[in-house]
Amino acid sequence: AIQPKLARALPKLSDDGLTATIPLRQGVLFHDGTPFDADAMAFSLRRFLAIGKLSYVVGDRISAVRVTGPYELQLDLRRPFSPLAKLLSFASLTPISPTAYANYEAGFRPNAFVGTGPYELRLQSPQLQRLEPFAQYWGEAPRNDGIALVGMSTSTSLYGAISSGNVDVLLSTSLEPEQQSALHQQA
């Protein structure tokens, strides 16, 4: 079941199923200190509808995004759509700071992502992404000192990093079959 995080509750649909009202959580900040509110969420949704690679998935269903209060958003739907809450949990619809993106209308900024989550992007390079706990996160604080996402160019270097304990989680299947077998035997 979907559990709202930045919304206080799941979207409430009108009787005709064409309007969804979403109450938003108060007291949330983006990593750059910008407050998260209905204007910020509307900015994120409208921006995605305009330039998102998968915007047709949302755009075919949402005809308008309206701010109806400081922490309330309304979506006008083209037709009733019962799995709306699932659609709104789509990772590409993650709210982004309007302050950080105000002068960057043409595309996304993967090297400077500014969201609201428990981790903030502190370092971005082709080989490494470093995420550190966001001290002003509204929810439960992370229980670690961060996450390092490391890119490795060969299966040999990846195997060595896993074998030595330098890698905790593997998000790839790029190990050779004999390397996978050796790791299973070590486990």
Residues 146-175: pLDDT tens digits?
Answer: 998 888 878 888 888 888 888 877 776 778
**Would you state the pLDDT for residue 95?**
94
Report the C-alpha gap between 48 and 51 in whole angstroms: 5
> What mean pLDDT comes out for the span 115-124?
93
Question: Which residue bears the tokens 């979907």?
Answer: 2
**Higher-confidence residue: 150 or 114?**
114
> What mean pLDDT comes out for the span 75-92?
91
Per-residue pLDDT tens digits for 131-147 = 999 999 999 999 999 99
| Domain map (residue ranges) of the chain | 12-96, 119-186
pLDDT category at 105 given cuts 50, 70, 90 is: low
CB neighbour list of residue 11: distance below 8 Å, 6 or more residues apart: 20, 21, 22, 75, 84, 85, 88
- Per-residue burial over 143-152, b = 16 or more CB atoms within 10 Å of its CB, e = otherwise: eeeeeeeeeb
| The dihedral formed by the CA atoms of 63, 17, 68 and 29, expressed in degrees to the nearest 10 | -80
What is the length of the chain? 187
> What mean pLDDT comes out for the span 98-106?
77
Report the C-alpha gap between 154 and 90 in whole angstroms: 31
**Would you state the pLDDT for residue 107?**
62
The alpha carbon of residue 57 and the mean position of all alpha carbons in its chain are separated, in whole angstroms, by 17
Q: Is 6 left (phi over 0), alpha (psi -120 to 50) or beta?
A: alpha
CATH of 12-96, one of 3.90.76.10, 1.10.1370.40, 3.30.230.70, 1.10.3720.10: 3.90.76.10
pLDDT category at 103 given cuts 50, 70, 90 is: low
> What mean pLDDT comes out for the span 20-34?
97
Q: What angle do CA 78, 45, 29 make, to 5 degrees?
A: 145
Strand-strand pairing, 128-133 and 119-124: antiparallel
**Would you state the pLDDT for residue 104?**
66
CB 150 within 8 A of CB 128: yes
Q: In what order do the strands lie in the sheet with 119-124?
A: 119-124, 128-133, 147-150
Average pLDDT, the chain: 89
**Higher-confidence residue: 165 or 110?**
165
Supply the pTM of this predicted model: 0.82
> What mean pLDDT comes out for the span 179-185?
86
